[in-house]
Amino acid sequence: MSYPTKFTVMSLAWGDPTAGDQHYVTIANPLPVTGGGGGGGAATIADGADVCEGTTTDAEVVGNNPGTISAKLRGINAALAGTLTVSGAVTATNATAANFKAQVTGQNDYRLADLTVQGRQTDPTVINVTTSTPTASVSVGGMGTALFTISGTYSSLTAKFEGAPDPSSTVDGSATFFTLQGARVSSNAVEQGPTTLTNTGRAWLVDCAGMNRVRLNPSAISGGTAVLTITPIMPAIRACPTVQTNSTAPTSIDVGSWGGTTTALGQTVMASSVPVTLASNQTNVPTNTVQIGGTNVDVNSGNKSAGTQRVVLATDQPNLTTAFNVADTTLGLSQASATASQKGVLVQGAVTTSAPTYVTAQTDPLSLTTAGAVRSDLNSLAGTAVDTNSGNKSAGTQRVVLATDQPALTNALNTVPVAGTSGASTPFRYLGAAAANQDSHNVKSSAGTLYSIMAFNTSTSIRYVKFYDGANPTSASTPVLVLALPGYTTGSGAVVCPTVGMAFASAIAFRLTTGQADNDGTAITSGDVVVSGSFL
C-alpha cells in the first residue's frame, strides 16, 4: 500500500501505482448537487448531513475498517504523526544517493542500502578568553562533535577541552567537567587543548559524545585576547553498506577478505592478517601439548627417539638426588692392554706386597701397598740418587734455605768465622784531645753493633771511657758501658771483644773523663787516652 506524499483538499487516491492499480476520486468544489434551491443551483450541505464525508468531529479510523472520509483523514494524520506500522508486502522504488532505500519482500528479510544522512550544526558561540578561568559552557546535547577554533592576538595560552555529561546542568559551577580530546584539523594530532600558543589560529574537532555541555578551561594566558569559537556539529553519515538476511534463502557473506585483501589463515603472521583480542572471560582454548612438530613427545624413562627433547643443564645445576649412571664399555680397559688406540680415562690401583715390574708402552694401574699408599720413586730426583745421612755434598745433596724464623737448634752448629773482603765490621780510632763535652765522640750516628774495644791510658791517674746508646752525649747523659783505665806512664788499658757484638739501638758514642760518676764533667789531658775498636 502506498500513500501519496501530498494531498489536495478534495482529491483522494489509493492503490499501487507501480502495479497499475490506482484509483482516484475527484470531487468538484463546490460539490454539485441536483435539486433544491428552486432550479438546481448551488446548495450548502450542513456539517454531518453527508454520511460519506462525515462530521468534523468524527473519531479517527485506522486500518482496514469502515469510516467516514473525515475519520479516515484523521487516521492518516495520526499515522504520519506517530509510528507508522506497515503490514503486508510493500515495495518501494529504487533509491538514489540522496534518499533512503528500503525493501521488505517477506518476513525476516531486510535490506538497507544507499543511506545518506545529512549532517547538521548549530550556530557558533564566540567567547573572548583573557584570563585563566573556565569559559561559559556551550550546549552540545545530541551533536557528538564540537569544532573549537582559536584566533586573535594573545600570548602563551594553555587550556583543556572539557565536557559535562549532566543534561540538567545549565550553570557551569554545578556540573562536573571532564577533560576531552580533539583532533587538530591541520594535522590530525590528538590533543587535550592548546599548549603555550601565541597569536596562532588553530582548530580542533573535539569528541563530545555523551556530553551535554562543553567549554575551554584555560590554565594560563600571559596577555591579549584569544577569540574562542565553539560550533556544535553532527557529521554526515554516508553510504551505509548493504546487509541482507533471508530466512528462506540465506545470503552468503564473504569472510575470506578484509578491506579487499584476502585474510591470511593458519599460524603464519602476515601483513594482511586480521588482529584479534581475546576477551577477558575467554574460555580455555584447546592446545596440542602432546606433540611438537607433529611428533609425540617422549615421556617417562626409555630409549631416545625423534620425540626425545634435547636439553642443556644449567651451569648452576644442583646436585641430583640420584646420580647419573654413566657407563661406557670403551672405558673398561684391561690390565697390560696395549696403549695404542685406547680411549677414556684409566683410574685404578693394584694392591701388591711388593713393587710390580712395568713394561714400556703398556698401560698399567697404579701400584698400591697393602696399607693403601701409592708406591713412588723417593730415592732419586731427576734421575739422580738423593744424598741421605751425614757425608760430603754431591749432585744428590738437596739445597735448602733456613726459614727466617728458624727456631734455636738443640745442638749448636759448628761454625768457623772466616774473614772476608765485604760484610765485615768497620774499625775506628780516637786520640783524646780534651775536646768539648769531655771528648764526646760518635762512633756511628745510627743504630749499630759494637764488636771490639781497645782503650789505653798513659797518664799516672785512672781514666774512664763511657759508652752511650745515643749520639752526641754530655755529662747529663747516662752511659750503658764504662771502662776504667788504670794510670801507668808506660801504658795500661782494657780490651773487650764480645762474641756476638753489643747492639746499640740509636747510635754508638763515648766520652773520656777523669771521674767515675755518670755526670762527671772533668776532661782528661790531651793525649792521655787512645780508643780503638770495630763496629757494624
Does residue 357 fall inside a structural domain? no
Number of domains in the chain: 3
Does residue 45 fall inside a structural domain? yes
Q: Collapsing DSSP states into helix, strand and coil, what is residue 436?
A: helix
Question: Hey, CA dihedral for 127, 133, 136, 141, is it positive or negative?
Answer: positive
Residue pair 216/129 in contact by the 8 Å Cβ criterion: yes
Question: At which of 28, 59, 81 does a domain end?
Answer: 81
Single-letter amino acid code for the residue at 333: L
Instruction: Please report which helix (H) or strand (E) contains residue 80, including its range.
Output: helix 69-81
Counts for the chain of helices (H) and strands (E), in that order: 2, 34
Does residue 351 fall inside a structural domain? no
Q: 505 is in which domain, residue-wise?
A: 426-535
Does residue 270 fall inside a structural domain? no
First-to-last alpha carbon distance for the chain, in angstroms, is 143
Sequence-separated (6 or more) residues with CB below 8 Å from residue 94:
101
Does residue 133 fall inside a structural domain? yes
| Residue 156 backbone zone (phi > 0: left; psi -120 to 50: alpha; other: beta) | left
- CATH number reported for the structural domain that contains residue 471 in this entry: 2.60.120
For residues 221 and 147, state if they share a domain: yes
Does residue 101 fall inside a structural domain? no
**What does the block give as the cell for 46?**
450542513
Q: What is the pLDDT along the chain (536 residues), one digit of tens a residue?
A: 344 433 334 444 455 555 555 545 555 444 454 444 445 556 667 766 777 888 888 888 887 888 888 888 888 888 777 665 655 555 545 444 444 444 444 444 444 444 445 556 778 999 999 999 999 889 888 788 999 999 999 999 999 999 998 766 555 656 788 999 999 999 989 999 999 999 999 999 999 988 889 999 999 999 999 999 999 987 665 544 554 444 455 555 666 666 667 766 655 556 666 667 777 788 877 777 788 888 998 988 889 899 898 888 888 888 888 776 665 555 566 777 777 766 666 677 889 998 888 899 888 888 889 988 888 877 888 878 888 888 898 988 888 888 888 898 888 777 766 666 677 899 999 999 999 889 999 999 999 999 999 999 999 999 999 999 999 999 999 999 999 999 998 889 999 999 889 999 999 999 999 999 999 999 999 999 999 999 99
Question: At which of 53, 81, 109 does a domain end?
Answer: 81
**What does the block give as the cell for 153?**
592576538
Question: At which of 183, 208, 234 does a domain end?
Answer: 234
